[in-house]
């Protein structure tokens, strides 16, 4: 297998969602930084930290057989020399279902490693009321 | 008012949770970077972006009169020269109530500005089952 080198955070992000849509575990793990402090939080879920836990979380998701389709919107970015933060709205559809896409909020953090840009942290959470976040009035539940 | 300069991400994080516990809006906003791309996502809530929306979200939370107490655990960190990522478990208690603390997961991103370290992004989400995340088996809901 030839390891892919992502030359920008955007390339890594495209590969992340492509691997997610394809439910392809090797492609998914090729996007992550090979560091023990990587963090992955799926919507409504616990935290998975380190390569072993993160890989297992994706294996379980992909094993469900459900195929998802993502449309991203509303990106907010903080870019530094070796790290890039993306806050994005994920509109997630289940392939083969007619329901409106589910809106989720994701914080994605990419870091520049010796092997190019990789994902260091993915934190996703549901948006209340099933509305697109742009249309949602402030809803404070802290 | 004398503006506080936080000389490390840790100092900024302490000030963030202290302002949260004190429900003090000026202290809270003094922790945030003065940038239009700042992002704040409260547990189960929509995204607030920019100083105006972020301030209003805290004003509403603090207006409830409920006082909270935070204990942090399980930090995972990525530190670069001008940015620092903290993934932390928040154990949140309501002051005056006897219930077990509620566990939440927070991604906090601090950036080095001309005025010291400031908070750029706070993304918090509930942990399923009411268990501390360390004790929670993987729960995949993506």
User: Predicted ipTM?
Assistant: 0.89
CB A16 within 8 A of CB A9: no
A141 versus B52: which is more confidently predicted?
B52
Q: What is the per-residue pLDDT for B139?
A: 43
Q: What is the per-residue pLDDT for A137?
A: 43
Gap between the Cα atoms of B92 and B53, Å rounded: 24
User: If you average pLDDT over residues A119-136, what whole number do you get?
Assistant: 76
Res. A118 pLDDT band, cuts 50 70 90: very high
Note whether A126 contacts B57, CB cutoff 8 Å: no
Q: What is the per-residue pLDDT for A4?
A: 85
Res. A128 pLDDT band, cuts 50 70 90: confident
Over the stretch B17-54, which tens digit does the pLDDT of each residue have? 999 999 999 999 999 999 999 999 999 999 999 999 99
Give the strand pairing for B68-79 and A83-94.
unpaired
Considering only CB atoms, A42 lies closest to which of B48, B123, B140, namely B140
Q: What is the per-residue pLDDT for A64?
A: 93
Q: What is the per-residue pLDDT for B86?
A: 97
State how far residue B62 is from chain A, nearest Cα, in angstroms: 10
Note whether B78 contacts A37, CB cutoff 8 Å: yes
The average confidence (pLDDT) of chain A is 90
- In chain B, residues with a C-beta closer than 8 Å to the C-beta of A52 are none
Nearest CA in chain B to A62: B142
Element (H, E) at B117: strand B116-126
State what percent of residues in chain B have pLDDT above 70: 89
């Amino acid at each position: 297998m030839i390891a892919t080198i992502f030359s920008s955070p955007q390339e890594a992000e495209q590969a992340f969602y492509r691997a997610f849509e394809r439910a392809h575990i090797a492609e998914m793990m090729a996007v992550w930084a090979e560091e023990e402090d990587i963090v992955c939080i799926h919507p409504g879920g616990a935290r998975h930290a380190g390569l072993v836990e993160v890989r297992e979380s994706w294996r379980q998701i992909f094993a469900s057989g459900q195929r998802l389709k993502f449309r991203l919107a509303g990106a907010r970015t903080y870019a530094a020399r070796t790290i890039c933060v993306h806050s994005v709205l994920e509109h997630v559809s289940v392939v083969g279902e007619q329901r409106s896409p589910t809106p989720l909020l994701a914080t994605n953090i990419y870091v520049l490693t010796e092997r190019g840009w990789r994902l260091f942290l993915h934190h996703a959470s549901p948006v209340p009321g099933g509305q697109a976040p742009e249309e949602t009035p402030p809803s404070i539940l802290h």
